[in-house]
A and B are shown apart, each in its own frame.
Chain A
């Protein structure tokens, strides 16, 4: 397994960003961070990451989704795998207002969906699975 993968964490909670970075760096991934959607997009344009870990509610209620859709609609960035992390329980989102209905839609833009708090083992195994799938395909 290549250990020099570049992962971009986009999350507005600095403590959480810090924790995630520590977990990922323990497995020698390169971790870059951004604290909102537009900063995240700048970092992506700077250098295309191998994976994005993305929060939903940041600058706005749908900042993360807006970025994810923007990437999926761009020829240049549409292949970057995205893991969405949110404190919204998935089952809350199911019953929730229209803003979150697209979480369940056919075309929702993420590869994986994580409910916070992020468990270190499952985060690492998800990341590894994504990279392994990429390698094999």
Chain B
């Protein structure tokens, strides 16, 4: 079925053609009138005995009305809205006047035997090109009758016979030959054949024009769909969480397909139910039915097995569990496809239209491409989440036995199972210590693993560093005091927020401060500075008067599991991962870390990071 707007578009296309042809017609008339004028001079020079005066007057009239036509054409161009009727009338007026002028000249150059008679045919061709088929036929028949009528008027002496132009050149030996009847028959036949030829060519051209128009529309549609698809995929690839990704897919798919609604239903873990995971354009009432039991839904069962489901008119087949609800929702036709990556089906992707038979084969093919891309991005994101979950669970499995052992050791060391000897207590305490170190390694590995794998899933938001650091200062002051150290916190209250997660900030602060405490000998001092530098950047600096780092080992400082030789001697509980974690966090916050250290004198580690209002992309030059 062709839609109304397509017909309108087609009419516009052909009207444009008519408009352009009308101007061409006017321009052509200047040339023809010019050539006619030259012809008159030529005939006069050759001493032809014809009525020059009326012919010159007719040519003059042609010039005049052509000027008039030119202005009419310009005026028609300005009238809005443009109507095909105006242009048609204008074309008729031009052709009729031209024929009138031509017939006058034919009369004054010898009537039916005039050599100019043949030019009538050109006007019929023009009528055929510019106007409808019927017009061409009517002009053809009228011209044939007009020539006959002219000759008849001369035969009955109603009109005086005029001398024939170039008669002496054309027929030097005969006055009566060729006979006007033969001329008339030949002229009529030529005219009818011309009308037929012009009409068939015109019809075929019009059909071709229509096809061209259809193809160009098709191309235009497909181009806009592909552009939409590109935007959709780009947007989905940037999504960091599943819901946002699916919402973007349903919204874009509905827009690109030009339909009222779209949905994604994902299979649950047991693959028994389909849950509406994202919808666009569907009402709460429609969604209230909740999850779909696949056992009870033959349509969805088929889709999940890989079939495409398309229905052009809801109600024509009674496959739906709730056809009434679908009609109430205003859905008339729909297409549902499996969301699959290779052989595994994740769910069902549907588009719903309020127009019956909205989707053609091309639409379904395109939607299928969209479904494949959507499935791929969903799967990609899901596997990221699964990896993170695996890592956390692996860490949990490692930690569970450690916790059980630790609890049992606590029972021993705290004498719940009876008093122990001094040696026994010391041994149990050592066990506890080693378990704690192992636990710390597991935690650090988890922290690094999660961050490295999960970069794009980490949602940074403005975090108030003061709220993270203030609650833990007391803890570290107590710890420093126990170790015989002096610790000073210099915290600027006007520090801006930072784009991070609380956990990142917490890990950063605790790793640096506990390192400083660990590697500073009793009697030493530690200073923790949180301030805004002259560029408005956040500076977090932890300095100590500790054991420092040997110069030749400085380059390995940020390598995994690296521990400086003097560090190993001083404290056993290091994992060699703390500074790796610090560096990765700071770089994740678009900042930088610098270390200054002298063996035996102390270490100062400075982190420079942009505040939340500066933005993450700004270059930082610490």
Contact = CB atoms under 8 A, between A and B. Distances in A.
Interface of A: 13, 15-16, 18-20, 22-23, 26, 57, 61, 87-89, 91-92, 94-97, 99, 116-120
Interface of B: 385, 388-389, 392-393, 395-396, 399-408, 410-411, 414, 416-417, 443, 446, 450, 458, 501-503, 506
Contact of A57 (B396, B401, B408, B503): B396
- The residue in A16, A57, A99 that gathers the most chain B C-beta atoms within 10 A of its C-beta is A16
A88 B401 CA distance: 13
Given A16-B404, A95-B458, A87 B392 contact: no
Given A92-B392, A95-B501, A119 B416 contact: no
A26 B501 CA distance: 42
A87 B407 contact: no
A117 B406 contact: yes
Contacts of A96: 388-389, 392
Given A22-B416, A95-B450, A96-B388, A87 B411 contact: no
Contact of B503 (A13, A16, A23, A94): A94
12 contacts: A13-B401, A20-B407, A87-B396, A91-B506, A92-B395, A92-B446, A92-B450, A94-B502, A95-B503, A97-B385, A97-B392, A118-B403
A120 B389 contact: no
Which 6 A-B residue pairings sit nearest by Cβ, starting from the closest? A19-B407, A116-B403, A117-B406, A15-B404, A117-B403, A87-B399
Contact of B407 (A16, A88, A92, A94): A16
A120 to B, nearest CB: 6
Given A95-B503, A97-B389, A22 B411 contact: yes
Contacts of B399: 87, 116
Nearest to A89: B443
A117 B403 CA distance: 5
B419 to A, nearest CB: 14
A120 B414 contact: yes
A20 B405 CA distance: 12
Contacts of A16: 403-404, 407
Given A13-B404, A95-B458, A19 B389 contact: no
Contacts of B417: 22
Nearest to B400: A87
- The residue in A92, A94, A95, A99 that gathers the most chain B C-beta atoms within 10 A of its C-beta is A95
A61 B390 CA distance: 12
A14 to B, nearest CB: 8
A92 B391 CA distance: 11
Contacts of B401: 13
Given A15-B405, A87-B403, 5 more contacts: A15-B408, A87-B400, A95-B501, A117-B407, A118-B403
Per DSSP, are chain B's interface residues mostly helix, strand or loop, or mixed? helix
A92 B389 CA distance: 11
Contacts of A19: 404, 407-408, 410-411
- The residue in B403, B410, B501, B502 that gathers the most chain A C-beta atoms within 10 A of its C-beta is B403
B420 to A, nearest CB: 15
Contacts of A119: 410
Nearest to B435: A117
B400 A13 contact: yes
B447 to A, nearest CB: 8
A94 B490 CA distance: 29
Given A22-B416, A22-B417, A95-B450, A118 B392 contact: no
A16 B403 CA distance: 8
Nearest to B459: A95
Contacts of B502: 91, 94
A117 B406 CA distance: 7
Contacts of B406: 117
B403 to A, nearest CB: 4
B408 to A, nearest CB: 5
A119 to B, nearest CB: 7
A88 B404 contact: no
A120 B407 CA distance: 8
A116 B400 CA distance: 8
Contacts of A26: 416
Given A92-B446, A94-B503, A15 B407 contact: yes
- The residue in A22, A92, A117 that gathers the most chain B C-beta atoms within 10 A of its C-beta is A117
- The residue in B396, B405, B443 that gathers the most chain A C-beta atoms within 10 A of its C-beta is B396
A88 B392 contact: yes
Contacts of B416: 22-23, 26, 120
Nearest to A20: B407
Contacts of A99: 389
A4 to B, nearest CB: 20
Contacts of A120: 410-411, 414, 416
Nearest to A55: B400
A97 B407 contact: no
Contacts of B396: 57, 87-88
Nearest to B415: A26
B404 A23 contact: no
Contacts of B506: 91
B393 A117 contact: no
A89 B407 CA distance: 17
B398 to A, nearest CB: 9
A37 to B, nearest CB: 17
- The residue in A57, A87, A89, A120 that gathers the most chain B C-beta atoms within 10 A of its C-beta is A87
Contacts of B388: 96-97
Given A16-B403, A97-B388, A23 B393 contact: no
A58 to B, nearest CB: 11
Nearest to A119: B410
A88 B398 CA distance: 11
A117 B414 CA distance: 14
A99 B388 CA distance: 12
A23 B446 CA distance: 30
Contacts of A20: 407
B111 to A, nearest CB: 98
B458 to A, nearest CB: 7
A28 to B, nearest CB: 13
B461 to A, nearest CB: 12
B85 to A, nearest CB: 66
Contacts of A89: 443
Contacts of A13: 400-401, 403-404
A18 B396 CA distance: 20
B516 to A, nearest CB: 21
